[in-house]
Chains A and B, each alone.
Chain A
Amino acid sequence: MTADHPRVLLADDAVLVREGVAQLLRVGGCEVLATFDDSDGVSAALASYDPVDVLVLDIRMPPTHTDEGLALLEGLRAAGVTAGVLLLSMYASPTLALRALSAGGATGYLLKDRIRDGGTLVDAVRTIARGGTVVDPEVVALLLQASASTSRLDELSTREKEVLSLMAEGRSNTGIAKHLHLAVKTVDSHVDHLMTKMGLESSADEHRRVLAVLELLRARET
């Protein structure tokens, strides 16, 4: 595996979407090892294609068409599998996103809509392959809008919230700086401040970012 060419397994029951996603991933430089039309064969394929960097899973698949993708993620995490998982969903549901991220690091939750946005899908796969976390911008927006009056996020400034939400979308500090037209150093200091305010100081950098995103998601819990 290399960060440039993540090895990917893909499961989606809609054949058109599956092919579209696979093609985008290939064009984006990912190595699509195999595709599945349900969640059944994925666990076995993990062993046969080892190493696998990222599983791209549709949430809603046969047989019940409810949360098979999410259940597979939780099962894999329980079995100690650390490979990254990107869940694709038709709906912007914060609770589903939280459930996904609660399963452990290297996880992402993205709306299928993003498939049409330039490199968003491939970027997300790469971020997750690196052990990062990705939450769909629409979900993040919902959370920020709704959490205006709750939790520790109150203490964050507007700019800091902006940075946090971009973090949640899986961007690196450099990416955030580019997006906000700021100096990377400025973004670094915003990140430090918001981490301090959220009580997340003494962890490794990538893990801290995951925790910050989880904090954002959990802000609604109480």
Chain B
Amino acid sequence: MSLRHDGEVTITDTRLRVVGPLTLAAAALVANLLAMSLLRAAAPYLELRDLLSMPVTGLAYGAAAGFLASGVRPTKVWALLTVSLGLAAPALSLGLAQDSWSWVALGSLGSFVVPAVGWICLSTLRGAEPGAEERRLILAAATVTSLIAVIRTATLDPAAFGWCQCVDNPLAVTGDADIYLAIEPWLTVGHLAAVAMVLLAVAVGAWHRPGRRAVHEYVLVTGSAVAIGGWVFADGALLAGAPTLTADPVVAAGLVAVLGVHVTGSVRRRPSRAHVADLLLAARERSTPGRLRELVARAVGDPSATVYWWDPSTQTYVDHLGRESDADVANALESHVLEVESEQRPIARVVTERVLVRDAGILQPVAEALRLSRENERLQAELAESLLQVRESRSRIVRASDDARRRIERDLHDGAQQLLISTGAKLNLATTRVDATRDPELAETLADASDELGRALEELRALARGITPTALVHGSLPDALEDLALRCPVPSRLHVEGGGKVNPEVAATAYFVVAECLVNVAKHAQASSAWVRVVLGDPLRVAVRDDGAGGADFKRGSGLRGLIDRVAAQGGSLDVVTSTGGTTVSATFPNGST
């Protein structure tokens, strides 16, 4: 289903669209008035009733076209104009019969009334353009009608045939009445075929229209059938050389009925379509169910309309106040319920008190808006859910890596480090038992071994410090940060504010942030001093400032980048401000007690 309706929803180029139809409407009005006066002068013997019915109906169509075209949203009024001019044509033609060469050609235009009325009827039924099948039928009928008009203009010359005291038709290629009389039955057949196609199109359109039929729709279909049938009859009579206008009042009545239903339908639909646009916007912007209900009610023109949303978990429809729809729907007639589905799955249902306007231009967008809204909601929920999952999994990864680091450090401490230390003790004991003067070589070897052991222990200690904040093993976060500041080659001072417990994971992260920052200060900042500030509490904040050259950049592969994940896993944030006066890195963490 498409939401676009050929520019009727857009407001651009409105003026251009309005001016053309308005001009033509004015021309149609003039043509009908002219036809009236000409016919009156040419045929004073005619009854006023017969004389006026067609031009007056033409005037009504022209006026309606002008009225609809000048509305807020230009409507397609070409069919109305065609009818209007088509109605004026025979009257004009007859009026001009004794004075103008163009009367036969003008009169031929009258045939276009048939497809035009069919088009009006179909677009009224659907509330939008006729469907593809119907459109093809109408276009075929219009083509046949055009051919008939051309052939008739080229072959009919009543003056030459001696049928009347009238002006010659210079467009006729022959003055031979026999040729025309030979063609005429075929023209009638073509005419009947066009009529059949239009009536078939109207029937198809009426059949395809969903929902129950309303009175005005019967009026519409009947009116167009009468108008089309009557027109054929009258046209046939005219062609047969018997210019009787007795069928005209009937035709006029059918035409007026069609016009009436069409105009009221357009007028009633117009404000609702504006509301449909509001509804679509609201659906896109994730409005509350209450607000959507309000807009749906306005769009379908029933203030008491209720929107029930399908709840897959309970398999029920629930409205914006949480009420279930069952009783309401059971009592409602089919004509009061709009079911909205997406790929066979229920989405929502709209239940009204008044009969729903069976207008595809409204109900389809309303359904689409409800679908869109639900789809939006679902996508947002999915997004939120997957974001949560990502955050949790990141948290898990960081926690698992921290656990692993702690285990490694503990293994080092309990294993290799203790072994090396006890080895050191044994070496030491051995050294005391060696007489250095008697066996200097052995003494030296032992001393070397002890030195190497010392280096090994130092390296192990540095390694353990890098794996996990060993200072946090036995000290508080400020103590650990103090040790860090002490180890920094750039003179660094620690400033502590606040107090209270620190979540161990937060402490480890804060420690890593400060450690990384101090490493950066020592490596890159060309600073003479650095300051570490920690504010204990919830949230916990740490900041490292230096007076160096600035230019710290997250993106240039600094170790800080690796910390972003770790900080984010704690739900914290990392912020870098750098200038020629130095760099400040600050991190904030929620410090919930665990």
A64-105: contact bitstring with B at CB < 8 Å (1 yes, 0 no)? 011100100000000000000000001111111001000000
| Interfacial chain B residues near A45, Cβ < 8 Å | none
Is A156 among interface residues, defined by CB-CB distance under 8 A?
Answer: no
Find out whether the CB atom of B461 lies under 8 angstroms from the CB atom of A90: yes
Known: A20-B422, A27-B432, A220-B494. 9 other contacts (CB 8 A): A14-B414, A16-B422, A66-B474, A95-B480, A96-B475, A99-B479, A116-B425, A145-B486, A146-B487
Q: How far is the CA of A66 from the CA of B480 in the complex (A)?
A: 13
Find out whether the CB atom of B419 lies under 8 angstroms from the CB atom of A95: no
| Interfacial chain A residues near B454, Cβ < 8 Å | 113, 116
Instruction: Give the interface centre of B422, B470, B482, B529 by most chain A CB atoms within 10 Å.
Output: B422
| Interfacial chain A residues near B425, Cβ < 8 Å | 17, 20-21, 23-24, 115-116
User: Shortest distance in angstroms between B421's beta carbon and chain A's nearest beta carbon?
Assistant: 5
Take A24-B429, A60-B474 as given contacts and tell me if A113 and B421 are in contact as well, using a CB distance cutoff of 8 Å.
yes
Secondary structure at the B interface, as helix, strand, loop or mixed, is helix
Q: How far is the CA of A220 from the CA of B483 in the complex (A)?
A: 10
Take A112-B421, A149-B529 as given contacts and tell me if A93 and B426 are in contact as well, using a CB distance cutoff of 8 Å.
no
Could you jot down 29 A-B contacts, CB within 8 Å?
A17-B418, A17-B422, A20-B429, A21-B425, A23-B429, A24-B429, A27-B429, A66-B474, A90-B417, A91-B464, A93-B475, A95-B479, A113-B457, A113-B458, A115-B425, A115-B428, A116-B421, A116-B424, A116-B425, A116-B427, A116-B453, A116-B454, A143-B486, A145-B486, A146-B491, A149-B491, A149-B529, A150-B491, A220-B493
Residues of A116-142 contacting chain B, CB below 8 A: 116-118, 142
| Interfacial chain B residues near A60, Cβ < 8 Å | 413, 473-474
Take A24-B428, A96-B474, A116-B454 as given contacts and tell me if A16 and B410 are in contact as well, using a CB distance cutoff of 8 Å.
no
Nearest residue in B to A70 (C-beta to C-beta)?
B474
Take A95-B479, A95-B483, A116-B453 as given contacts and tell me if A67 and B422 are in contact as well, using a CB distance cutoff of 8 Å.
no
| Interfacial chain B residues near A99, Cβ < 8 Å | 475, 479
The residue that A117 contacts in the complex, of B410, B418, B428, B492, with Cβ under 8 A, is B428
Is B154 among interface residues, defined by CB-CB distance under 8 A?
Answer: no
Find out whether the CB atom of B471 lies under 8 angstroms from the CB atom of A95: yes
User: Shortest distance in angstroms between A18's beta carbon and chain B's nearest beta carbon?
Assistant: 9
B184-195: contact bitstring with A at CB < 8 Å (1 yes, 0 no)? 000000000000
Is B485 among interface residues, defined by CB-CB distance under 8 A?
Answer: yes
User: Shortest distance in angstroms between B152's beta carbon and chain A's nearest beta carbon?
Assistant: 110
Is B450 among interface residues, defined by CB-CB distance under 8 A?
Answer: yes
The residue that A14 contacts in the complex, of B410, B422, B461, with Cβ under 8 A, is B422
A139-176: contact bitstring with B at CB < 8 Å (1 yes, 0 no)? 00011011011100000000000000000000000000
| Interfacial chain B residues near A65, Cβ < 8 Å | 410, 473
| Interfacial chain B residues near A91, Cβ < 8 Å | 461, 464-465, 470-471, 473
A19-33: contact bitstring with B at CB < 8 Å (1 yes, 0 no)? 111011001000000
Find out whether the CB atom of B475 lies under 8 angstroms from the CB atom of A17: no
Take A23-B429, A95-B475, A113-B454 as given contacts and tell me if A220 and B482 are in contact as well, using a CB distance cutoff of 8 Å.
yes
Is B266 among interface residues, defined by CB-CB distance under 8 A?
Answer: no
Is B431 among interface residues, defined by CB-CB distance under 8 A?
Answer: yes
Nearest residue in A to B412 (C-beta to C-beta)?
A90
Find out whether the CB atom of A67 lies under 8 angstroms from the CB atom of B421: no
Find out whether the CB atom of A94 lies under 8 angstroms from the CB atom of B486: yes
Take A17-B422, A24-B425, A115-B421 as given contacts and tell me if A94 and B474 are in contact as well, using a CB distance cutoff of 8 Å.
no
Find out whether the CB atom of B424 lies under 8 angstroms from the CB atom of A113: yes
Is A52 among interface residues, defined by CB-CB distance under 8 A?
Answer: no
Residues of B483-516 contacting chain A, CB below 8 A: 483, 485-488, 491-494
Take A23-B429, A90-B417 as given contacts and tell me if A148 and B471 are in contact as well, using a CB distance cutoff of 8 Å.
no
Q: How far is the CA of A99 from the CA of B461 in the complex (A)?
A: 21
Q: How far is the CA of A145 from the CA of B479 in the complex (A)?
A: 18
User: Shortest distance in angstroms between B308's beta carbon and chain A's nearest beta carbon?
Assistant: 60
- For chain B, the count of residues having a C-beta within 8 Å of the partner chain is 43
Q: How far is the CA of A118 from the CA of B427 in the complex (A)?
A: 9
- For chain A, the count of residues having a C-beta within 8 Å of the partner chain is 37
Is A59 among interface residues, defined by CB-CB distance under 8 A?
Answer: yes
User: Shortest distance in angstroms between A91's beta carbon and chain B's nearest beta carbon?
Assistant: 5
Residues of B142-172 contacting chain A, CB below 8 A: none
| Interfacial chain B residues near A90, Cβ < 8 Å | 413, 417, 461, 464, 470
Residues of B99-123 contacting chain A, CB below 8 A: none
User: Shortest distance in angstroms between B468's beta carbon and chain A's nearest beta carbon?
Assistant: 11
Q: How far is the CA of A188 from the CA of B426 in the complex (A)?
A: 37
| Interfacial chain A residues near B450, Cβ < 8 Å | 116-117
Instruction: Give the interface centre of A14, A16, A94, A95 by most chain B CB atoms within 10 Å.
Output: A95
Nearest residue in B to A114 (C-beta to C-beta)?
B424
| Interfacial chain A residues near B426, Cβ < 8 Å | 20
Residues of B413-453 contacting chain A, CB below 8 A: 413-414, 417-419, 421-429, 431-432, 450, 453
B550-574: contact bitstring with A at CB < 8 Å (1 yes, 0 no)? 0000000000000000000000000
Q: How far is the CA of A23 from the CA of B419 in the complex (A)?
A: 15
| Interfacial chain B residues near A93, Cβ < 8 Å | 471, 474-475, 479, 483
Residues of A43-65 contacting chain B, CB below 8 A: 59-60, 65
Nearest residue in B to A16 (C-beta to C-beta)?
B422
Residues of B22-52 contacting chain A, CB below 8 A: none
User: Shortest distance in angstroms between B482's beta carbon and chain A's nearest beta carbon?
Assistant: 5
User: Shortest distance in angstroms between A217's beta carbon and chain B's nearest beta carbon?
Assistant: 11
User: Shortest distance in angstroms between A101's beta carbon and chain B's nearest beta carbon?
Assistant: 14
Nearest residue in B to A91 (C-beta to C-beta)?
B470
| Interfacial chain A residues near B492, Cβ < 8 Å | 146
Q: How far is the CA of A143 from the CA of B482 in the complex (A)?
A: 11
Q: How far is the CA of A20 from the CA of B427 in the complex (A)?
A: 10
User: Shortest distance in angstroms between A222's beta carbon and chain B's nearest beta carbon?
Assistant: 8
Take A27-B432, A115-B421, A118-B428 as given contacts and tell me if A220 and B475 are in contact as well, using a CB distance cutoff of 8 Å.
no
User: Shortest distance in angstroms between B418's beta carbon and chain A's nearest beta carbon?
Assistant: 4
Q: How far is the CA of A65 from the CA of B261 in the complex (A)?
A: 91
Q: How far is the CA of A111 from the CA of B117 in the complex (A)?
A: 105
The residue that A17 contacts in the complex, of B421, B473, B479, with Cβ under 8 A, is B421
| Interfacial chain B residues near A16, Cβ < 8 Å | 418-419, 421-422
Q: How far is the CA of A168 from the CA of B517 in the complex (A)?
A: 31
User: Shortest distance in angstroms between B313's beta carbon and chain A's nearest beta carbon?
Assistant: 47
Take A14-B414, A23-B429, A91-B471 as given contacts and tell me if A150 and B486 are in contact as well, using a CB distance cutoff of 8 Å.
no
| Interfacial chain A residues near B471, Cβ < 8 Å | 91, 93, 95
Find out whether the CB atom of B431 lies under 8 angstroms from the CB atom of A118: yes
| Interfacial chain A residues near B479, Cβ < 8 Å | 93, 95-96, 99
Instruction: Give the interface centre of A14, A27, A99, A118 by most chain B CB atoms within 10 Å.
Output: A14
Nearest residue in B to A113 (C-beta to C-beta)?
B457
Take A142-B487, A149-B491 as given contacts and tell me if A20 and B421 are in contact as well, using a CB distance cutoff of 8 Å.
yes
Q: How far is the CA of A116 from the CA of B426 in the complex (A)?
A: 8
Nearest residue in A to B428 (C-beta to C-beta)?
A116
| Interfacial chain A residues near B418, Cβ < 8 Å | 14, 16-17
Q: How far is the CA of A20 from the CA of B425 in the complex (A)?
A: 5
Q: How far is the CA of A14 from the CA of B425 in the complex (A)?
A: 13
| Interfacial chain B residues near A70, Cβ < 8 Å | 474
Nearest residue in A to B426 (C-beta to C-beta)?
A20
Nearest residue in B to A22 (C-beta to C-beta)?
B425
Find out whether the CB atom of B486 lies under 8 angstroms from the CB atom of A146: yes
Please provide the 6 A-B residue pairs with the shortest distance between their CB atoms, ordered closest to farther.
A20-B425, A116-B424, A16-B422, A95-B479, A67-B474, A14-B418
